[in-house]
Structure 1
Amino acid sequence: MMEALDHLVEKLDGLAPKAAVVLGSGLGGLVDQVKDARRISYAELPGFPRSGVSGHAGEVVAGHFAGTPVLMLSGRAHYYEHGNAAAMRPALEVLAGIGISHLILTNAAGSVDPEMGPGSVMLLTDHINFSGSNPLIGEPSDRRFVGLTEAYDAGLRGAIEKAAKATGTALHRGVYMWFSGPCFETPAEIRMARVMGANA
């Protein structure tokens, strides 16, 4: 981890972002809006994942987005690629090591809510883990016992809601259900997700 951290700090060349965004499918183009961009391939950073999914470039892009220093991860490893729920852990630990205090995760998901059609934006309020796995399995200390009653920071959600209102962006709120993939859900699983309270 230290090798990746030192290399990333060197490449940032004095830039000290406090926020990072992991870009999900369909959002890779956001990196083109980063000003004074510094691009670092995941291949240069030991422990960073190699994504095998199309549209995931596999690079860190750092610079200024809307005037704010930011670091974007264009691409990530998925559980269904390797069966490792903690595949992104080394990368996230490096982000914490360089001082990232705010992390925004994004992804593309299918809606099971009739009020939320294709292309909608949903802010997560909670999640249901139906994958049969957990990234904390095997953690060799009491750090594995993480409380999740406030997994989605209220302050950060409030800031996102304020930004959506200011830009006229329709923002849905809902519960995300994590299936292992890679296949899509069956009609019966979709009905089950609705019954269990999921929106996507």
Structure 2
Amino acid sequence: FVPGNYNGRIGVIWETCTACKACVRICPNDCLHMETETRVNVLDMTEEGDENHGYGVELEVGGMAARRIEGSEEAAADFQLSTAHEAPPEEYEFGEVIDLAGDTISVRWNASGTIEDVASSELVGAEVDIVSGRIDIGRCMFCGLCMESCPFNSFFMTNEYDGMSGFTREDLWFEADRTRVLPVQHAEAVDIELAKRADQARKKAEKAAAKAAKSEA
């Protein structure tokens, strides 16, 4: 059973994954393992003026912020996961929010440890310990059940095999960065999940507002 006759390189849009673990449960060879990472989630990818904007992570002291790396959008658009032997280009740099002062935010960057004052318009919220995962390609038999079981269209399979070999057993453990399908390359699937999550956040906010108004009445 190979859905769509594709049984090669596996890719995942981790930004749309909800950790339902449908893929983990259905995998017959125990290839999929859930982990966590720091990441910009799908609700924080919207632009100012977008109808789904404003439902992401709030920037707050002690929380995480992310800034898009210059040139990353162009690099992401040109990256081909299905034939790559390396991880995709980094899209964001992450840091801890140290202070909020008007339109300026002080951030301690994770990579360098330096503190920088950054315009709030350049930053988006980031989530820590958000779901991610790794795949043991050495055990995978490319049956496609993970892709078929995913209710969020997060899994993709190709008919490419480049980049799936290694000299050690550990080389066949594909961390999230080796399976990551960049959102820009499957914008339609990302937009569908974004709309669903924004609608859920909108309804939750409306219920909270109604409850608050009722308690004040």
TM > 0.5 between the two?
Answer: no
TM-score where L is the length of structure 1:
0.25
Larger of the two Rg values belongs to structure: 2
Higher helix fraction (1 or 2): 2
- With normalisation by structure 2, the TM-score equals 0.24
Higher relative contact order (CA 8 A, sep 6+): 2
